[in-house]
Amino acid sequence: MATWLITGCSTGLGRAVAQAVLAHGDNAVVTARNVTTVDDLAAAFPDTALALPLDVTDRAQISSVVQQARTRFGGIDVLINNAGYGYRAAVEEADDADIRQLFDTNVFGAVDMIKAVLPDMRAKRAGSILNISSIGARISPAGSGYYSATKSALEGLSGSLHKELQPLGIKVTVIEPGAFRTDFAGRSLTQSATAIEDYAETAGKRRKENDTIHGTQPGDPAKAAEAILAVVNSANPPSLIVLGKDAFDAFAAVAQAERAELDQWRDLSLSTGVEG
């Protein structure tokens, strides 16, 4: 029986993963900033669920959660870094305080979670870390520059982490979901207070008041959760996997376009070496 620590379980993908883990008989430390939103999970699975308050920007809370997980279940086998939120603004429009809070949550919160669980995982030479990214890191839509930047940062860190931990028996996987029917485009989406008219036809189209996708996303969170369980239970999990046809198609299109551009500028790229 594995023990999972999942951040951001109040709604959406985090909650779906917690429900799937518990339904499959594993232990789960289910966390949310407002713990009352996950109390029902603990009540439904009193022997295998531990509901705890956690704001991933609070290092003292992170330490407390990890220690309570050790006390209750003996340690953490799987970390799911899911806590995070969206932010929409043109690069020029964004508020400095908003940007820093976004990175503190989406990037540094995940980093602090990883640092908190790694000593135990290294000691037993086993464990899995899954970092929830977004297809936004690949496609970088206008109006989502800062959100995409946080996910790109998380992916870059995960790539190095994978190489550092693989020899120690610890697995690292980036999950890149497309659009799933969660609250991401609702309560979990923020935006700049300022809107500049010059960006109305680019970033402006992604502002909340112009968003039409919420509630109609093609992805099923329950199926995404089952896919994540399959990744964790795989003997050779991928370093990155996309979830959803929209994400798969977008990833493939970006990869094809990047290769075409690489080839187009090949001669100039190769012209910069020292001669002689």
Dihedral, 206, 11, 134, 58 alpha carbons, nearest 10: 100
Residues annotated as part of the active site? 133, 147, 151
Confidence of residue 85 (pLDDT cuts 50, 70, 90): very high
User: What is the value of pTM for the model shown?
Assistant: 0.94
276 is a domain residue: no
Note whether residue 251 is domain-resident.
no
Tell me which residue of 180, 181, 98 sits closest to 145, measured CA to CA: 98
- Range with lowest mean pLDDT among 6-20, 101-115, 147-161, 173-187: 173-187
The CATH number of the domain where 84 resides is what?
3.40.50.720
For the chain, the domain total comes to 1
Exposure string of 91-122, with b = 16+ CB inside 10 Å and e = fewer, is eebbeeebbeebbebbbbbbbbbbebbbebbe
Q: What are the pLDDT digits (tens) for 225-235?
A: 999 999 999 99
Domain contains 121: yes
> Is residue 274 one of the residues assigned to a domain?
no
Provide the pLDDT for residue 206.
87
Q: Is residue 185 part of a domain?
A: yes
Residue 186 has pLDDT above 60, yes or no: no
What is the rounded CA–CA span in Å between residue 128 and residue 118?
Answer: 10
Q: Where are the alpha helices (DSSP H) in the chain?
A: 12-23, 39-44, 59-73, 96-103, 109-124, 136-139, 145-165, 221-233, 245-264, 266-269
258 within some domain:
no
In terms of residue numbers, what domain contains 231? 3-245
Give domain status of residue 257, yes or no: no
Q: What is the pLDDT of residue 185?
A: 55
Please state which of the ranges 54-68, 176-190, 197-211 shows the lowest mean pLDDT. Answer: 176-190
Is pLDDT above 80 for 276? no
Determine the pLDDT at residue 209: 74
Query: Rounded to 5 degrees, what are φ and ψ at 3?
Result: -115, 125
pLDDT of 214 over the 70 cut: no
3-state SS assignment for residue 141 = coil
| Stretch 3-29: mean pLDDT | 97
For residue 89, is it within any domain?
Answer: yes
Alpha helices of 29-144 — where are they, by DSSP H?
A: 39-44, 59-73, 96-103, 109-124, 136-139
